[in-house]
Amino acid sequence: MKKIILISCLVLLTLGAKFATQKHFMERPTLTLEQTLDPLLEAIIQVETRGKNISGDNGAAAGILQIHKIQVDEVNRILKLENEPERFTYQDRWDQEKSKEMFFITTKYWNREDNYEFENVARCWNGGPTGDEKRSTKHYWDKVQIELKAIELLANK
């Protein structure tokens, strides 16, 4: 009889734990794309400028994400295609929040199949819409991974 009671208790505890886990999972809020990619964006900023709002690539790139003028043109092209009234200027590359907006606009557009894997997004940021296919962006991804690991270590402290 004691064995039956013990087994019954174990079964109930197991089912209760399973239900609690499922309930907790179901209550978890859905993250936005921006929230999901935030660690990646921070790692890319570290690779690009260590968070400094600087000029690079012999003056061709600007801001924390080292955005070139052609990238601003691409963002504006995307906005026009999507019938959005907003437009960015080359000066906006110096604005950290606007730079991040441009990052997300191109990321969403270039990853139409919702392939937001960190490697894919980082390599496209570095090499354009097909950057994930270019061998030249592999080294960039390696640097981003190092920064991601550093960010994760800091978050776990």
Pair (24, 71) in one structural domain: no
Nearest-angstrom CA–CA distance, 77 and 79: 5
User: In the prediction, which pLDDT does 53 show?
Assistant: 95
Nearest-angstrom CA–CA distance, 134 and 100: 24
Nearest-angstrom CA–CA distance, 54 and 2: 73
Other CB atoms within 10 Å distance of the CB of residue 23: 9
Domain ranges, residue 52: 31-155
How many domains is the chain built from? 2
User: In the prediction, which pLDDT does 29 show?
Assistant: 61
Pair (80, 110) in one structural domain: yes
At residue 1 the predicted structure's pLDDT band, cuts being 50, 70 and 90, is: low
- Backbone φ and ψ for 128, nearest 5 degrees, come out as 90, -175
User: In the prediction, which pLDDT does 153 show?
Assistant: 86
Prediction pTM value: 0.77
Please list, residue by residue across 36-57, b when 16 or more beta carbons sit within 10 angstroms of its beta carbon and e when fewer do.
ebeebbebbbbbbbeeeeeeee
Q: Please say if the pLDDT value at position 6 is more than 50.
A: no
- Backbone φ and ψ for 56, nearest 5 degrees, come out as -145, 180
Pair (42, 116) in one structural domain: yes
pLDDT digits (tens, 9 = 90+) for 23-81: 444 455 677 888 889 999 999 999 999 999 999 999 999 999 999 999 999 999 999 99
Pair (15, 43) in one structural domain: no
63: nearest Cα among 72, 53, 50: 53
